[in-house]
Homo-oligomer: A and B are copies of this chain.
Amino acid sequence: MNIHPVIIAGGSGTRFWPASRVRCPKQFLRIISPNTMIEQTIERVRSLCPEKNLLIVSSEMHHSLMEDLVRGKNFIILEEPFGRNTAPAIGLAALYLKKSGAGDDPMIVLPADHYINDVAQFRNRLVTGCRLAKEDGAIVTVGIVPTRPETGYGYLHRSRTQKEINGTAIYRVGRFVEKPNQENALNYVTSGEYFWNGGIFIFTPSAILEEIKMHLPAIYQGLLRIESSLGKPEFSEILRSVYRDLPSVSIDYGVMEKTERPILAVPGDFGWSDVGSWNSVHQLREKEWDVAGNLVHGKGILMDTRSALLFNQSNQTLVTLGLKDIIIVSTDEVTLVADARRSQDMRMVIEELKKRGLEELL
């Protein structure tokens, strides 16, 4: 089976500001390990296929960062001129693969910036998903078994068991659920009928292109215009001209919530996180805490300090005295000091910077 991992790496989040910047977003940060998140994502799936099968959809804006990361590798890199959410990115990758003769091979869509603990199980689930996608022409997602009533994630409601593969039950997905409130989240988790939506999808290029044609015709028309230029000198110019007018739509909203094709969920309980905030970085790296629960990256001296995350990318020394539950992130241009319980509120900070005309700090 010829598998095609497709890593969606064009995002530009703000939740790790000031370590993440417009020109260096989360997937290029070394917040979880000495490698960048995108390198970790690549590493997890490399053994599933020949190097040349691995496709990364990146952003033109991060061209040189990406170039440094994949130097000497045979990965396929497609650079989007503008961010248009996941549906166009996945459509573009599917188009490329179909044109290369892989239209009926499974492609695995993977966010570039998530955390996975048990990589062996993760790979195993992906291979199961690929088989379903190839043999049944199905749309497959990996349903993350929830471990807490998280209100920050979307959920999948599963209906009946569809089949079993190597001891793993495969479910039909009933519906996609947006981020719930606390009460609903608790109900979902206790019911045992819900998965977290981890944004991992598996299908063949042919299948997803059919879905895009049906549910996102404007995007499909754009893809057709791009298709004719693939491998030709005018490709990049046409890509830019098409992308400029494409709507921004997520694959979840644009296809998954609308398709009449069955969606199958392969359950995964491999330890997953979307690494959505500094606080989650602190939690995920518990093994690296000192005795007082502090995590220190870079030059830092902590005195009478507990449960702190110091992420220091500058040449300064950070010194703390008498603090608790605090996040300090330092770069050459900015030092952020925040209450750890507020790490979800980075958007507020970004908005304030924009309001003050300090775009150069973003």
Residues on A facing B (Cβ under 8 Å): 18, 301, 303-304, 314-323, 326, 328, 330-339, 341-342, 345-346, 348-349, 352-353, 356, 358, 361
Closest to A301 in B: B352
Apart from A314-B316, A321-B336, A322-B338: 12 A-B pairs, beta carbons within 8 A: A18-B319, A304-B342, A319-B349, A320-B336, A321-B339, A321-B348, A321-B349, A322-B345, A323-B339, A328-B335, A335-B335, A337-B337
Q: In the complex the two chains form, is A301's CB within 8 Å of B337's CB?
A: no
Which B residues are in CB contact (< 8 Å) with A339?
321-323
SS of A interface (majority): mixed
Best-buried of A321, A336, A339 by chain B (most CB within 10 Å) = A321
Partner of A330, one of B315, B335, B353: B335
- Residues in B with CB closer than 8 Å to A346 are 321
Cβ contacts under 8 Å, A358 to chain B:
301, 317
Task: Pick the contact of A303: B304, B328, B352 (CB < 8 A).
Answer: B352
Q: Residue A316 contacts which of B304, B320, B332 (CB distance < 8 angstroms)?
A: B332
Known contacts A301-B352, A353-B301: A316-B335 contact under CB 8 Å: yes
Known: A301-B356, A348-B303. A328 touches B321 (CB 8 A): no
Selected A-B contacts with CB under 8 Å, 29 pairs: A18-B319, A301-B352, A301-B353, A301-B358, A304-B342, A316-B330, A316-B332, A316-B334, A317-B334, A317-B335, A317-B358, A318-B337, A319-B334, A319-B336, A319-B337, A320-B338, A321-B336, A321-B339, A321-B342, A321-B345, A321-B348, A322-B338, A322-B341, A323-B338, A323-B339, A326-B337, A328-B335, A328-B337, A337-B337
Q: What is the distance, in angstroms, from A140's C-beta to the closest C-beta of chain B?
A: 40
**Which chain B residues border A348 with CB–CB below 8 Å?**
303, 321
A337/B317 in contact, CB under 8 A: no
> Are B316 and A333 touching (Cβ within 8 A)?
yes
A126 → chain B, closest Cβ, in Å?
38
Q: Give the docked Cα–Cα distance between A319 and B361 (Å).
A: 11
Give every chain B residue within 8 A of A335 (Cβ-Cβ).
Answer: 316-319, 328, 330, 335
Inter-chain CA distance A356–B316, complex, in Å, is 16
Q: How far is the CA of A335 from the CA of B302 in the complex (A)?
A: 12
In the complex, A333 Cα to B335 Cα: how many Å?
Answer: 13
